[in-house]
Amino acid sequence: MGDFLSSLKIAASGLEAQSARMRVIAENLANADSAAKSPDAEPYRRRIPTLSAMFDRELDAYNVKVGRVALDQSQFKTRYEPGHPAANEQGFVQYPNVDSLIELADMREAQRTYEANLNVVRSSRAMYGQTLDILRG
């Protein structure tokens, strides 16, 4: 029974980590086209979720832990829009440093990893149920 619970706990940590990762990616996508509010203000800055492996002595295995959310320090995108309220003196507006294609690829990877962890939970539950049926029989 310990192995079943261990696999469930490990998969649950993966589910939690990927869920947090998808939330950050969704926030990045939601703000991908939001301009700065004024010429001297910065627009939304892309967030990067950090994950780490932490050894769990009770399980004798590694779990995934969600770390802090880092800010991407890459350059903002600029567009020439002289009539925009946030345009600088040269007519350029700063936009977030979010690349939708990268975010969509990251989202797809996070979804697949989430699904893989969910399959571990389902398989563990099924094996646990079958083991109980055998023991009852």
pLDDT band at 135 (very low <50, low <70, confident <90, very high): confident
pLDDT for 58 equals 84
- Higher model confidence: residue 114 or residue 9? 114
d(C-alpha 65, C-alpha 92), whole Å: 40
pLDDT at 44 over 60: yes
pLDDT for 2 equals 62
d(C-alpha 27, C-alpha 30), whole Å: 5
| % pLDDT > 70, the chain | 99
54-110 residue pLDDT tens: 998 888 888 899 999 999 999 999 999 999 999 999 999 999 999 999 999 999 999
pLDDT for 4 equals 74
Q: Which residue has the tokens 């829009």?
A: 81
pTM of the model: 0.85
Q: Count the alpha carbons within 13 Å of 84 in the hemisphere toward its beta carbon.
A: 21
Query: Which residues does residue 64 pair with via DSSP β-bridges, in sequence order?
Result: 53
Mean pLDDT of 13-34: 96
Q: Count the alpha carbons within 13 Å of 113 in the hemisphere toward its beta carbon.
A: 19
